[in-house]
Amino acid sequence: MTRGYKIEDIKEKILDLLANSKTGFSGLEISGRLGINRITVSKYLNIFSAEGLIKQKNIGNVIIWFVEDGIEKFHLPEDFFKARTRYSEYLISKRENLVYTLIRNCFHSTENPIKIITEIIVPGIVYTQTLFDQGKIGKSELTFMEKMISNSIQIINLENVETDQKKNVIVISADSKSTLFSDAISTSFHSDGWQVYSLGDMSSSIDVLFDLDLQKFLTKVWKRKMGIMIIVIFSATEEGLQFFAESVKSIRGKSLKKRLYLVLCGKLEKIKIDADFIDEDLETVLQWSQATFERSVS
């Protein structure tokens, strides 16, 4: 806090001032207009510039600060629908800088980064894949849009969060189509203080020896067997869910039955698979996982 201001207060004041100026202001002018110490203003101008919220240009010996055209402020949670719409628009128009700026802006406008994943990024994944399935975009365009989404997720994943050694989760994607969803929930778990081991697309590991490989990995990352371990599997096909579910069940055994849990994320229509929880909604999976952990320590 600086002279009674939180960083969010300073950001809003600076962005409001710059957004209403066509020519921008120097740091000294911003300090005078807002009544905030010049050194403090300079510090936060550099922070907001690094986040992509504002820009600078040199005019002689003076640095002028301004808000780049197209950058919007969002007041969350009220503006989630607006932010979600803008995110999809920026994705389809390939406006890469605005995609990342929007996510950074939202990230600094809410105390719940998981909502950015579930309310903005996940709908963007669905939107992108729907466009491809409908033949409205090609493979190259899909790949570029998915790269933007992946980078969006990493912006949130880089948040420094204190993790709980008793809350452990392994996330597996059974195919490339499910990878962004698995990345999204991995980051959500991370934001909620879980120790996350995200394996990504494991389709190349589908063979008779995978259960042994998974058991070795589990032994290394969960050495002391503290708390619980949840293995979350994403798949676009029932066969993918079945293969990885059977691998998990083969290593579970009686000793880990109450501490190792299996969660499936995908549609099951023809095949019946035994799991501790099955749901396609990421937020519901997160809520179930937290509730399961709380029951285990109560």
- CA atoms 58, 63, 64, 66: torsion sign: positive
Amino acid occupying residue 119: E
Nearest-Å Rg of the Cα atoms of the chain is 23
CA angle 207, 211, 213 (to 5 degrees): 90
Q: Which region among 29-38, 225-234, 285-294 has the lowest average model confidence (pLDDT)?
A: 29-38
7-66 maps to CATH 3.40.718.10: no
Which range of 44-48, 77-81, 89-93, 156-160 scores highest in mean pLDDT? It is 89-93
> Quick check: 251 pLDDT over 80?
yes
User: Which option is the CATH number for 167-297: 3.90.1580.10, 3.40.50.280, 3.40.50.620, 1.25.40.90?
Assistant: 3.40.50.280
H or E element: which one contains 170? strand 167-173
**Alpha carbon distance, N-terminus to C-terminus of the chain:** 36
According to DSSP, the residues that pair with 289 across neighbouring strands are none
Q: Which region among 37-51, 60-74, 166-180 has the lowest average model confidence (pLDDT)?
A: 60-74
Helix (H, G, I), strand (E, B) or coil at 99: helix
pLDDT at residue 256 in the model:
74
pLDDT band for position 5 (cuts 50, 70, 90): low
pLDDT at residue 70 in the model:
58
pLDDT at residue 72 in the model:
67
Class of domain 80-157: mainly alpha
Looking only at the bridges linking them, the beta strands covering 25-26 and 62-66 are antiparallel
At 54-74, the pLDDT tens digits run 888 888 888 998 876 656 667
Which tokens is 92 given? 């389809």
> Quick check: 155 pLDDT over 90?
yes
Rounded CA-CA distance 221/232 in Å is 15
At 101-153, the pLDDT tens digits run 889 888 877 778 999 999 999 999 999 999 999 999 999 999 999 999 999 99
Q: Which region among 3-12, 199-208, 285-294 has the lowest average model confidence (pLDDT)?
A: 3-12
Which tokens is 158 given? 């880089």
Amino acid occupying residue 103: I
Tell me what the pLDDT averaged over the chain comes to: 90
For CATH 3.40.50.280, the residue range(s) in the chain are: 167-297
According to DSSP, the residues that pair with 201 across neighbouring strands are 173
At 194-249, the pLDDT tens digits run 999 999 999 999 988 999 999 999 999 998 889 999 999 999 999 999 999 999 99
Whether the predicted model's global pTM rises above the 0.85 cut = no
> Quick check: 1 pLDDT over 70?
no
Which tokens is 76 given? 């969350």
pLDDT at residue 2 in the model:
43
Q: What is the mean pLDDT of residues 73-77?
A: 75
pLDDT at residue 154 in the model:
96
